[in-house]
Structure 1
Amino acid sequence: MTDFQRARRPEQVRQRREAILDTAGEMLAERPLAEISLRELSDRVGLAKSNVLRYFDSREAVFLELLDRRWTAWLDELEPVLTKQVPSDPEAVATAVALSLSGHAQLCELISSMAGVLERNITVEYARVFKGNSSRNADRLAAMVRGHFPGIGEHGAGHFAGSVFVIVAGLWPYARPTEAVAQVMAEMGSPTSPELFVIGLREGLCNQLVGLIARSGGR
């Protein structure tokens, strides 16, 4: 716990925000998002809840900011792989995206909670900020994919970028089963949950690309 004086200068405000985000990331590495309360986050960072709310609109805004940072970091990692190392084949592109995302557990956790939880308790002002950042990140992923398949066009590439979030949001909860469910899956000889996540994401994204290419006339 850190004993903070009230931030008055812009640099101090920035430092407080960074401390809160760093702490949120540490806690998310330890437990699911649903188990992290604003009070626990405040206690861990060494601030009262009211002081945390001086820097962020809500608990949800903290984690949306973290989501944006994790999303940007993932794109920074994916871009050189997707643009320079992967052939222009739907399965190869889908596999590269799926494998890369599987290594970013916090991003997947946050994506799975974004629409149903995190976007439910933010102000209009912060929603504008977050959605603006989201749009830029989605456009960046779409541009990478369109570089491989120009025929799908801007709309098709944008649809694919959006489908990444939708499929991750649906699959990720199953990648973190309870101990009882994990035991039964092992007894049934099923692949491990992380393996199922990669397989499901790859297949879903590959099918998206194949469909978009077919609709564009195979170009």
Structure 2
Amino acid sequence: MPKGSDELTQARKDEIVNACAELYETMGFRDITIRDIGAKTSFTRTSIYNYFQTKEEIFLALLQREHETWIADLEEIIQGNESLSVDGFAGALAHTLEKRVCMLKLMSMNLYDMEGNSRLENLAVFKQSYAGTLRAVTCCLEKFFPCMTPVDVQNFIYAFFPFLFGIYPYTSHTEKQLEAMKLAHVNHIDYSVYEIVKTFIARLLRSFH
């Protein structure tokens, strides 16, 4: 058992977020309740309210953790490579995102609910992690493509980050969605997260070979 109130508080928060993440692997956002999350923790359901006031705050904390893990992966790219070609960087960035399916799913499906039903102070902490991802991607571009101007970098950011919201819907489909596309005669092509991200990044950077 962690010693000290701060350590105990963080351990309890981590346990709650871990329980939420586990449920989210097999259940939908709207179906998961605080009761469900509490049932997977080692303390009472009512104790959760000492740390999170709403289900959305728990999910927002999960998304924050996903962003922080992604930042660490981006920093590894920066520290581990002196230089990268467009293709090399596109592949490296794509690899970081294929590990962040939970992040992509939350961003594409549940972001407005999470932000709208979280306290301002929790939302501000999350936005700090989001800002960290912006800085990490910017640092990658500045290191590996020094010919890019500040405007070039900003244009990349404005194209890339909105693109993130569409990755999950284009790479993950339920059987019902696939059957509906078949009935509607939609020409569906399967893409992995890696494939769709690498292709997109390479196209964004093709002028900077």
TM range (shorter): 0.7 to 0.9
- Distance apart, 1:139 and its partner CA: 0.5
Distance 2:48 2:155 in 1: 36
Partner of 1:117: 113
The aligned residue for residue 4 of structure 1 is none
Corresponding residue for residue 100 of structure 2:
104
Secondary structure class of the residue paired with 2:40: helix
CA-to-aligned-CA distance 1:26-74 (integer Å, 9 cap, x gap):
22233343432233212322432x4322202422221222222222222
**Which of 29, 38, 42 does residue 34 from structure 2 map onto?**
38
**What is the match of residue 22 of structure 1?**
18
TM-score, structure 2 as length reference = 0.77
- What letter matches 2:44 in structure 1? L
- What's the counterpart of residue 5 of structure 1? none
Aligned-pair Cα RMSD in Å? 3.1
2:88 & 2:94 partners in 1: Cα distance?
10
Q: Which structure ranks higher in relative contact order (CA pairs < 8 Å, sequence separation ≥ 6)?
A: 2
| Partner residue, 2:169 | 173
Q: CA offset at residue 24 of structure 1? A: 1.4
Paired residues in the alignment total 202
For structure 1, the 5+ residue unaligned runs are: 1-7
8 Å CA contact retained: 2:19, 2:37: yes
Over the matched positions of the two proteins, sequence identity in percent amounts to 19
Q: Where does residue 144 of structure 1 map in the other structure?
A: 140
Q: Which stretches in structure 2 are left out of the alignment for 5+ residues?
A: none
Deviations 1:102-136 (A, max 9, x none): 12221222222354332121122222211122212
1:75 maps to 2:71: yes
Deviations 1:159-217 (A, max 9, x none): 534544321211212322121444666x999543xx3543332333333334xxx5xxx
**Aligned residue identity for 1:152:** M
Distance 1:163 1:119, change over 3 A: farther
| 142-151 or 24-33, which deviates more | 24-33
